[in-house]
Structure 1
């Protein structure tokens, strides 16, 4: 319920003094409501924040992964054509592919977390690291190993990194990692089989990125509505005031 400062007109002095007191009352009300809104992210008016986070999380995650797979990958199909050889210089390409993808995907997610009253810096950093390492595996290892490892385990690595960033307890973190890993693996394998016959590598990458983005975005967006995560969010620290371990990103 919105708090209001009830001051009768008769209690206020006339002229500039009256206007000054009225302005101060409105300012104090706004500051107080702002603090309450940041603390109570999981209840009351805060529930709308979590719902909004979930919707925007799906939209931005799906779109950013799809566009990044198209925009930040060099021409070529999957696997990258390493044959039976290790290609150490593939790390350079992975820094561009995975690093840029991580900056876009993790950056948008971190922005949404901050809008919900959470801190997103560590989330961004570890998302970039996880996506870089995943791309490095695919670009360095022989083709027979690189793609299967990334398709099967890449999502679990990403989920584990974000669990670490969020500092969730075991129940929530393991669920996030399991959902992220499963959504990634199922979508990537299915999309790879569908897109591998495409004559244009850009279409192939867009199919794979689109499928992974929609699958990952939908599944993790739904997790934000899961009661344990919502309760953890509502217990998080406000932007000002209390400090300490919060268990939220």
Structure 2
């Protein structure tokens, strides 16, 4: 997959120097040559590429019609940067995250279903405002949720899941999911295939141990969940168009 046009243009050191130089001044070629310290023929070549890419424009000097001033189109650069971010990941797109147009079902899986996956379940439910049908399960579920997981959700996010119990992936094997996300490396290898062919994802999140580690793990999962939501909507829109 080729990188976006803005990346290809701006990544060259001389073109980046020209863009940053033109960000504050409209300049003639000879002035740009002096500023960036490169030969005029080389500067002219790269200016032509920036003009072809729509990032730089040229206007004839009203003082000397034989000369031209080069101008950086900051609006076009801003739009190109937004397009570049969206090409990397939908969450990098500026503005508020889009809401799902229909129900999306997500399953989080870890080994014991006592910490990481129930934390992810609770946070995605909160972040999506209940618009995502989210569940969690374990490949080898424990008998109860970890007290530190309960504490970090309650104290850090105001979420109470004390009545929830770990369950096996076998208990949800018959449900339809759009996305199945494993949160530990052991679970990735042990997670079974599901009917309806959900999209499989993997987050390699270390198993927490101790209150400080649980806070860091919850913060990491929350960041991943916030970035997941726009990606879920983008995948839903793509499927609807296909």
The structure with the largest strand share of the pair is 2
Give the TM-score normalised by the residue count of structure 2: 0.28
The structure with the largest helix share of the pair is 1
Structure having greater relative contact order (Cα 8 Å, sep ≥ 6): 1
Structure 1 or 2, whichever has the larger Rg, is 2
